[in-house]
Structure formats: structure tokens, C-alpha cells
Amino acid sequence: MHKIIKIILVVVGLIGAALWFMLPESEMPASEAINNGALNAMFMITWLLLGIAIVSSVVFALKNLFSNPASLKKSLFVVVGFLLVIGIGYVMASGTDVNIQEMADRGVSTNESEIKQIGAGINVFFILTLVAVGAMLWGGVRKMIK
């Protein structure tokens, strides 16, 4: 299996190298270059490889997660904790932080719900930053005590 993957990667690399030499010149206008077949083929290969990488990483992560019950329990606690932080961040957001009329005057159409979601995201970021700093401080203090 390992040899087959290496062969496939070499073939994809050779195809990419051939397509590299078929790319349009830098002097070509962007409106014409965007219709270049080699450029589109390189984008398709990139999306294909990205999709394969995402699917394989998710599959192997889930496989490892479900193979060990202790890690599954720990992961469940982390997910529930993250959802709790998101809930706290949403409750803390007011949705009235920005004047909607001023935003509309500037050409940004928005509503109170969108403002509340953005505020919730900012609150979640600050809460997680505090948790990270607290965890680093706690680890440092524990090391100093021992």
C-alpha cells in the first residue's frame, strides 16, 4: 500500500510539473489567463489533494478516537466544554454594541442578530485566551512548587 501511494504521488508531481510549464505568461491579461486549461487543472489537482488530506485526517482521527474509550470520554468533555464556552459567549453578547443606522450609512447592512453573533465570537476568543493563559500559569506554578 505504501508503494502505491508513493507511485501516485510521483505521478501527480509529474503532472503538476508538466502543467507548470503550460501556465500562461505573466504578460497575459488576467481575463484570458483565467481560462487557461493548465491553470484550471492545477486548481483541480490542488482541491483533490486537499480533499484527500482532509478526509484521511478525519477518518484516522475518528478511528483513533473510537479505539480508546478513555480518549473518547476526554474528547467528549472537551467538546461539551467548548459548547459551554460558546453558550456563555453568546449570552454575554448584547447585540447593541454598534449603531445599526451608522453601519447602514457606511454601506454595511447588518442587523442585531449578526452583531450579537460577532460579539459572541469575540467573547469566545477572550474566554479561550483567558483559559489558555490560566493553563500556562497553572503549569508554571505547579512546576515551581514541585
Q: How many C-beta atoms lie closer than 10 Å to residue 114's C-beta? A: 15
Residues 61 and 133 in one domain: no
110-144 pLDDT, tens digit per residue, is 888 888 898 999 999 999 999 999 999 999 999 99
User: Whose grid coordinates read 503549569?
Assistant: 139
pTM: 0.59
The C-alpha cell of 114 is what? 449578526
Q: Which amino acid makes up residue 81?
A: G
Give residue 88's pLDDT: 96
Higher pLDDT, 29 or 144: 144
Whether the predicted pLDDT of 1 surpasses 80: no
Residue 94: which domain range?
Answer: 69-146
Residues 90 and 119 in one domain: yes
Share of the chain above pLDDT 90, in %: 34
Domain total of the chain:
2
Residues 118 and 130 in one domain: yes
Q: How confident is the model at residue 27 (pLDDT cuts 50, 70, 90)?
A: confident
Residues 82 and 140 in one domain: yes
Whether the predicted pLDDT of 7 surpasses 80: yes
Tell which of 10, 35, 67 closes a domain: 67
Distances (CA, A) of 13 to 4, 22, 43, 50: 14, 14, 14, 14
Residues 73 and 145 in one domain: yes
